[in-house]
Amino acid sequence: MTRLEQNDINEIATTLVDYDEALIRKTGCSLKEIAAQATGRRISELFDQNPQIAVIPMTCGQGIIEGFVESVASIITHLGFKVTITESRDTGGVAEAVQSGAEILFMADDDRFVAVNLRTGKVSDNGDATGRGYAVALEHMCAGLQDKKVLLIGAGPVGNSAALALAGCGAKVSVYDLNLSSSQRLFRELEKQGYTARLETDLEAALVRHHILLDACPAEDVIMLRHITTDMMIAAPGIPLGVQALGVEQLSERLLHDPLQIGVATMILDVL
Ligand code: 2YG
């Protein structure tokens, strides 16, 4: 599980308008539209509600990440919802949020980042939400994924969620993970759900054979300039970004990567 650093997120709150414009250029959809599709719910149904939302700083484990709760709150505000950050942290923060009438709580320790709806009991996990959000975005980047080969790199929580969502869009999903048992487990799950999948054990060969990638692995320099072709499309939720810097320039608008935006937007719409 990747742990964000302050410099991964310190620009989020002040660049959300530009971020959304870039997202529309890349996918044809706004952050709100991507997240709504990832939750399978209609926008009209989602945005006529006005729940009280609280974000709670958690000091456990490796503690507070400077700017984390503020970044989460800014994404929720950008989507048009009212949100507060609790004064207190941890248990005190939960008590403060509940006593102030908050219906939806966001909080993250080192292992889980969740949104919970106290009224309905709905819970959204960041890894699962991020995978679904990025799969929807990649489908738009490629103008549909029906019968197209997609290479999923990284069979962790984000990759598992993304793979199932990609298969659900009709993609022929190939799965690679450094850890063979992880990719085998995801491959078997896809097969069990009736999808045709492919298990990749050689990343170099897989990168030559696939031009649509979803990089959900927490490693740098996995996708190098030499792998990048003129028709390559990459959605990369993995942190740090797996595409080599020279490749980022080459890809330009054919690369989608953000540290929190798509995941948080999908989480809030998941639990509304
Ligand atoms: O409240 C705080 O400031 C800290 N307890 C937040 C800690 C978050 C740790 N988790 C991560 O950095 C990532 N798993 C968050 C999601 C990354 C994007 N998929």
Say whether both 41 and 104 belong to one domain: yes
Instruction: Give me ligand 1 centre to Cα 21, in Å.
Output: 25
* Exposure on the CB side of residue 125, measured as CA atoms within 13 A: 11
Instruction: Give me ligand 1 centre to Cα 222, in Å.
Output: 23
Say whether both 156 and 101 belong to one domain: no
Say whether both 230 and 199 belong to one domain: yes
Ordered strands of the 83-85 beta sheet: 83-85, 53-56, 104-108, 113-117, 123-125
- CATH of residue 168: 3.40.50.720
Give domain status of residue 234, yes or no. yes
Structural domains of the chain, count: 2
Say whether both 153 and 250 belong to one domain: yes
Task: Write down the pTM of the prediction.
Answer: 0.98
Say whether both 148 and 76 belong to one domain: no
Confidence tier at 42 by pLDDT (50, 70, 90): confident
* Mean pLDDT value of segment 188-215: 98
Question: Would the pLDDT of 2 be above 90?
Answer: no
Locate 226 and state its tokens: 């030499």
Nearest CA owner, ligand 1 atom 11: 3
Question: What pLDDT score does 46 carry?
Answer: 85
Give domain status of residue 132, yes or no. no
Question: What pLDDT score does 116 carry?
Answer: 98
- Locate the DSSP E strands across the chain: 53-56, 83-85, 104-108, 113-117, 123-125, 149-153, 172-176, 197-199, 212-215, 233-235, 255-256
pLDDT tens-digit profile of 126-184? 999 999 999 999 999 999 999 999 999 999 999 999 999 999 999 999 999 999 999 99
Instruction: Give me ligand 1 centre to Cα 3, in Å.
Output: 6
Say whether both 266 and 246 belong to one domain: no
- CATH of residue 104: 3.40.50.12150
Say whether both 105 and 16 belong to one domain: yes
For a mutational test of ligand 1's pocket, the pick from 65, 85, 134, i.e. the residue with the most ligand atoms closer than 8 A to its C-beta, is 65
Q: Which residues line ligand 1 (CB under 6 A)?
A: 1-4, 57-58, 64-65, 68-69, 108-110, 113, 126, 130, 239, 259-260, 263
Question: What pLDDT score does 123 carry?
Answer: 98
Q: Could you give the CA distance from residue 127 to residue 149 in angstroms, rounded to a whole number?
A: 23
Alpha carbon separation from 8 to 136, 142, 191, 193 (Å, rounded): 23, 27, 36, 36
Boundaries of domain holding 223: 143-258
> What is the atom index within ligand 1 of the atom nearest the CA of 110?
9
> Contact 210/150 with Cβ under 8 angstroms?
yes
Say whether both 191 and 98 belong to one domain: no
At a CB cut-off of 8 Å and minimum separation 6, what does 86 contact?
54, 55, 56, 57, 92, 93, 94, 96, 97
Say whether both 118 and 151 belong to one domain: no
Instruction: Give me ligand 1 centre to Cα 260, in Å.
Output: 9
Nearest CA owner, ligand 1 atom 4: 64
Say whether both 118 and 214 belong to one domain: no
